[in-house]
Amino acid sequence: MIKCSREKNLNFCGGCNEYPCEELKNFQRQMPHRAELWKAQSRIAEIGAAQWTDEMKAYFSCPECNASNTSYDLKCPKCGHIPGNGFAGNNREAIMAYLEEKMKS
């Protein structure tokens, strides 16, 4: 996707007239932390990458202690708050299903 965006002189996929392409759709389906990819692309187009990055810092922080957490932190590793961040709260079922499948393999 990086090569494609460079060839088209784009900063992000949402600015492409082929958006969303099959490559991007396949990429999005592969892992739960990509669940909000379409929403992110729309938001970047709306407010710009810098402001979106600031929003994501808050979104992926624990609402209790403000620790920065990953997409897969259903519980904050620092304080134990559930969910560990907004993303984990909004995508709990998909994250749990993915982690259960990974534990089987």
Q: Where are the domains of the chain?
A: 2-104
Indicate left, alpha or beta for 68 from its phi (over 0: left) and psi (-120 to 50: alpha).
beta
Convert the pLDDT of each residue in 28-68 to its tens digit: 988 899 999 989 989 998 999 999 999 999 999 999 999 99
Cβ atoms < 10 Å from Cβ of 76: 22
pTM, rounded to two decimals: 0.81
Residue type, 32: P
